[in-house]
Structure 1
Amino acid sequence: MTSLTTHFTLEELTISQTATRRGIDNTPSPAAVDNLKKVAALLEQVRTLLGTKPVLVSSGYRSPGVNAAVGGASNSRHLLGLAADFTCPSFGSPKAICKEIAESELAFDQLIFEGAWVHIGLPPDNTPSRRQILTAHFQNGMASYMEGIA
């Protein structure tokens, strides 16, 4: 296992059931690994904010093939290793997690309440964090977004 931080590994932030099932390479570039270190550091801050409860990552880095296979946006920060989807069941619901993060001082670019999970992303280098907070709504396989946590 390759540790990125105390509680997060490279393997945890790159594992993909879709990649395994479909035989898609999900190996990140060195630049994406550097970005994943930043995401892992942010997830450590989230973990602390949530009372040091385990944060379970369901998606981190996605290669272009994996991103296409899961229907990810073509400009997804997952492609750069700058985003993670996660839950923290021992803290509470994804909505409760989003509210806690939104009320914190954590620096993030985007926080999305996705219903069953939380998406958090960082900006590319030299770009300020927007602290954009959204709720995703899914209909007919398409996502639309509204400002705030709903």
Structure 2
Amino acid sequence: MDLHERLSPHFTLAEMVRSQTAARRGIANSPGQLEVAALKLLCEKVLEPVRAHFGKPVVVSSGYRSPRLNTAIGGSTSSQHCQGEAADFTVPGESNLAVCQWMEVNLNYDQLIYEFGETGWIHASFDKHRMRNMELRAVRVGGRVRYLPGLVA
């Protein structure tokens, strides 16, 4: 696996597999060929258009997650991160909601989640076989995470 491999003009494999939790716990976070191909599509179809429109770096906080890493962080057992189909990110200096609203109108994706408002992040997934264009928002209710329909209430 070549971590310097470019998945698209502005994204490398290294940034799409980087994980502080994996580094801290000694967990290998190495995608296979299918996952790398999915990451390329995610970068080309979702992350690059966001970067081009806003003219700013897109900072990925979570991209690919090996099943072991996903378990370690308490991720969903059906997480698209494990298939290389999802990324959590922000665009510094831009409102998470404004980025989500632009994406909703201008891009195709599987899921777009406005996670925990402006102090959170954006989750976007791309699956070439399933394009639901589903918008959700993640909120905490009574200490539990709930996913509600739509980007805003």
TM over 0.5: yes
User: What is the CA distance between 1:67 and its match in structure 2?
Assistant: 0.6
- What is residue 108 of structure 2 aligned with on the other side? 107
- Hey, what does 1:67 align to over in structure 2? 70
Report the RMSD for the aligned CA atoms in angstroms: 1.3
1:78 to 2:81 alignment: yes
Q: Which runs of 5+ in 1 are unaligned?
A: none
Q: Aligned-pair distance for 1:141?
A: 5.4
Amino acid at match of 2:5: T
Considering fraction of residues, name the structure with more strand.
Answer: 2
Q: How does 1:65-144 map to 2 (within 5 A)?
A: 65-90=68-93, 92-104=94-106, 106-115=107-116, 116-123=120-127, 125=128, 127-139=129-141, 142-144=144-146
**Structure 2, gaps ≥5 residues long:** none
- Pick from 6, 9, 28 the counterpart of residue 9 of structure 2: 6
CA distance in 2, matches of 1:140, 1:3: 42
Tell me which residue corresponds to 2:28: 25
Superposition TM-score, scaled by structure 1 size: 0.91
Higher fraction of helix:
2
Letter in 2 for 1:86: F
Distance in 2 (alpha carbons) for counterparts of 1:100 and 1:72: 27
Equivalent position amino acid for 2:114 in 1 = F
**Distance in 1 between residues matched to 2:72 and 2:82, nearest whole Å:** 13
Runs ≥4 in structure 1, deviation > 2 angstroms? 138-142
Amino acid at match of 1:43: L
**Separation in structure 1 between the aligned mates of residue 12 and residue 110 of structure 2, nearest angstrom:** 22
The Cα shift of 1:99 comes to 1.4
Q: Aligned residues, how many? A: 145
Identity %: 44
Q: Which amino acid aligns with 1:7?
A: H
